[in-house]
Amino acid sequence: MILTPKILARVAAAVILGALLQLCFFSQVAILQVSPDMLPALVVALGLLGGSMTGAVCGFCAGLLVDSLLMLPLGGSSLVLLGIGYAAGLFRERFEIHSMLVPPLLCMGLTFVAELGFGAVELTLGPGGPVSLLVLRDMLVQAILAFFGGWVIFLALRRLLRAALVEEPMVRPRRGPRVIGA
């Protein structure tokens, strides 16, 4: 990704908008009795489009913003989100994305990992206590919701940052030449 001031502003806007949407909308709705968590999907999409450093920095900033807005101890969400942003970027740098299913699948898998990470941070820092297995079900539902949400987020971000992308991550099937009058 070619980072110009304009692109940086767009990325920052995407992160801020994503964090605000997460706090004002997604966290307050219930789908299948679970509030979707779209922030990991946003960070994964940014990592897939911009690479590991972009993913890590965006994850860190998104986590910091969310923790600040929620008045939580700073650093916990940042640590988790920078990890998945970095992992998504690394995936993009190591492998070619051949299918449109890869970004949403990565969003799903890394959202699940992020939720595990949030849980680990909570359990490490918090007072601890019994954890119901229903948490696993909620995490799975969140991951499935991230599959669909991640798809939309990835397509929207790709459109937003198209000018900065060095190459299209998708390998599109080429159309055959049209023969006129055949």
| Site residues (vs another protein, CB under 8 A) | 16, 20-21, 23-25, 28-33, 52-53, 56-57, 60, 63-65, 67-69, 71, 73-76, 78-79, 82, 86, 125
Distances (CA, A) of 82 to 64, 86, 105, 121, 180: 10, 6, 19, 14, 52
Pick between residue 31 and residue 152 the one whose CB is nearest to another protein: 31
- Closest contact distance (angstroms) between CB of 29 and another protein is 4
Pick between residue 140 and residue 170 the one whose CB is nearest to another protein: 140
Pick between residue 3 and residue 69 the one whose CB is nearest to another protein: 69
- Closest contact distance (angstroms) between CB of 69 and another protein is 6
- Closest contact distance (angstroms) between CB of 172 and another protein is 29
- Closest contact distance (angstroms) between CB of 44 and another protein is 16
Pick between residue 76 and residue 104 the one whose CB is nearest to another protein: 76
Distance CA 106, CA 101 (A): 9
SS3 letters for 124-135? HHCCCCCCCCHH
What 15-18 contacts at long range (C-beta under 8 Å, 24+ apart), as own/partner pairs, is 15/42, 15/46, 15/58, 15/61, 15/62, 15/65, 16/65, 18/42, 18/62, 18/153
